Structure 1
Amino acid sequence: MIDFPERLSALRDRYDIVLCDVWGVIHNGVQSFPEACEALVQWGAQVGPVVLISNAPRPSHDVVSQLDSLGVPRAAWSGFVTSGDATRDLLSARAPGKVWRIGPDRDGPLYAGLDLDLTGSCEDADFIGCTGLYDDETEEPELYRDRLAVAAQRGLTFICANPDRVVQRGDRLIYCAGALADLYESLGGQVIMAGKPFAPIYDLAIAEAERLTGRPVDRARILCIGDGVITDVLGAENQELACLFIAKGIHGEKALGPDGQLNPEAVLALLAADEVGATHAVGDLVW
């Protein structure tokens, strides 16, 4: 059963720790959402730690400056783990080696300090490392079909550093590494991911929560917050953690009514379509 609280503060007595998604919940890549940030500030001040859990394909320490530039206050979070953090373990296990690196230059820190030879071609690579499209402003996954088909024929493993298929940037949806991973699997290639909805990133997030509290955490007292059905909601469900679904994120067109407000029936239909269930749902994250 799912319930529909009006605001985050209605859940303050049920949970101690929040694991909160970033992109689509507290910012859209262009600007932060002040009410959502304030909700996390208040949770941290009045209830317990907030650990940001993001499918960003870079190490968390490299993403903090982006949060700062978008106006996300440091008081809104106590800890931060990313898909990039979890993916580095997958990459380091394949070092030394040669990786066909797919993704923009800004994601270079993912590979920093690893004994890997980066190449722009699949012809002589040992495996693929993908953080996204080379130019997500202009490209679509289909542009990669021919090159990925060759890699699949060679049997290269595709390590996806960001399982998100799309993400909201301003008022647009742009393709992410997860969309290329889907294409690669359709071509018969093998894909490995460590970000949401997969276990490694949750292991890191819970370990961070235990570091912050100085004690083992009760999983029944953890609340995951996110706007992605097949990443945030499914990931929480797989981990048997409670989830607060944010309807006005990437699924807003399907989860909201004509008035722009949360439509409970539409939310239930959206979740049922992917055979997942959330514990709670709200329109916006507010305190």
Structure 2
Amino acid sequence: MTTIISSLADISERYKALFVDLWGCVHNGVTAYPEAVAALQAYRARGGIVVLVTNSPKPRAGVAEQMGAFGVPKDAYDTIATSGDSARAAMFQGAVGTNVYFMGEWDRDEGFFEPLEILDNPTPITRVPLAEADGIVCCGPFDTLADPEVNRADFLYAKTHGMKLLCANPDIIVDRGEIREWCAGALAKLYTDMGGESLYFGKPYPPIYDLARRRLSALGVSLEDSDILAIGDGPQTDILGGMGESIDSLFITGGLAAAETQTTHQPNPDALSAYLAAENVTPQFAIGKLR
């Protein structure tokens, strides 16, 4: 049974740390949500720890820079765990070979190929055309508005040659302001549906949660699963990931599922129940927007 709450403060005293999604919860891809920022600041002021856990393919330094540009102040969070960092570690350990075909926007994703100091002997990685590649590194579509099906021919070639696809962002879609865009997860799903092998490192998969816990450890904090609350608007990423990690979750209904849950200020209870049943997820709590 999912309980609809009025504010984070209704339940925040139960938890010592939050694993907070960004897009759709703290910002809309363009600017911060002031109420969400205020809620996180208030939580930290009471002694709670905020870990931003995002499926961004960026390194955490890049996400921190982006947060500043969106208007999310540094006192709204303690640390950041990104799927990009988790996937980069795998890439530099040779998960998809040494010669890789890159998919994404280079101006945005160039930092993905920056060296990782935490690895003693990183595998040298070279970007090459698809015909010369051992595998694929996918940070996102070349065109975020184009149907993923435009990649079918290249994916057929890659699958036929036994290439693995490293997915740096398992999200299927995001809303940038009022515009809905495709993410790397949509491409990885297509590749998997075609019979190819995709490797995932963001929510809902374990590697990013391992990284989030290491970020907590770096702060000198060791917590039980029951001390952590996952917050997000993605039923198959944030909420399913929380379920897999045995941590409670707060579903933000006014993000990706605003229409399906009939969310204005708060979700319609019947629409919410029907939506969660269809998605086969059971968050402990729900709220229209993080506040």
Q: Match for residue 110 of structure 1? A: 112
Q: Which amino acid aligns with 2:273?
A: L
| Offset from partner CA, 1:158-177 (integer Å, 9 cap, x none) | 10000000011001210000
Quote how far apart the aligned CAs of 1:274 are.
2.1
Structure 1 residue runs of 4 or more that deviate by more than 6 Å after TM superposition = none
Q: Distance in 2 between matches of 1:210 and 1:4?
A: 32
Contact 1:194 1:201 in 2 (8 A): yes
Q: Match for residue 183 of structure 1? A: 190
Q: Match for residue 223 of structure 1? A: 229
Q: Which amino acid aligns with 2:89?
A: D
Q: Distance in 1 between matches of 2:37 and 2:109?
A: 25
Q: Distance in 1 between matches of 2:29 and 2:50?
A: 20
Quote how far apart the aligned CAs of 1:260 are.
5.6
| 2:174 is equivalent to residue 173 of structure 1 | no
Contact 2:266 2:287 in 1 (8 A): no
Q: Distance in 2 between matches of 1:122 and 1:187?
A: 17
| 2:55 is equivalent to residue 46 of structure 1 | no
Q: Match for residue 134 of structure 2? A: 126
Q: Distance in 2 between matches of 1:182 and 1:215?
A: 36
Q: Distance in 2 between matches of 1:251 and 1:5?
A: 17
Q: Match for residue 274 of structure 1? A: 279
| 2:248 is equivalent to residue 239 of structure 1 | no
Quote how far apart the aligned CAs of 1:47 are.
3.5
Q: Match for residue 77 of structure 1? A: 77
Contact 1:44 1:76 in 2 (8 A): yes
Quote how far apart the aligned CAs of 1:15 are.
0.8
Q: Match for residue 97 of structure 1? A: 98
Q: Distance in 2 between matches of 1:206 and 1:266?
A: 34
Q: Match for residue 13 of structure 2? A: 13
Q: Distance in 2 between matches of 1:152 and 1:12?
A: 46
Contact 2:21 2:52 in 1 (8 A): yes
Quote how far apart the aligned CAs of 1:62 are.
1.4
Counting matched residue pairs gives 282
For the aligned residue pairs, the C-alpha RMSD in angstroms reads 1.4
Which consecutive residues of structure 1, in runs of 5 or more, have no partner in the other structure?
A: none
Which consecutive residues of structure 2, in runs of 5 or more, have no partner in the other structure?
A: 116-121
Contact 1:12 1:47 in 2 (8 A): no
Quote how far apart the aligned CAs of 1:133 are.
0.7
Q: 2:210 aligns with which of 193, 203, 206?
A: 203
Q: Match for residue 151 of structure 2? A: 144
Q: Which amino acid aligns with 2:269?
A: P
Contact 1:58 1:85 in 2 (8 A): yes
Q: Which amino acid aligns with 1:17?
A: A
Q: Distance in 2 between matches of 1:280 and 1:21?
A: 15
Contact 2:104 2:141 in 1 (8 A): yes
Q: TM-score, normalised by structure 2?
A: 0.94
**Quick one: percent identity of the two aligned structures?**
38
| Offset from partner CA, 1:89-138 (integer Å, 9 cap, x none) | 2101118710010010110111112621102x3211001000001121x4
Contact 1:262 1:283 in 2 (8 A): yes
Quote how far apart the aligned CAs of 1:16 are.
0.9
Q: Distance in 2 between matches of 1:39 and 1:32?
A: 12
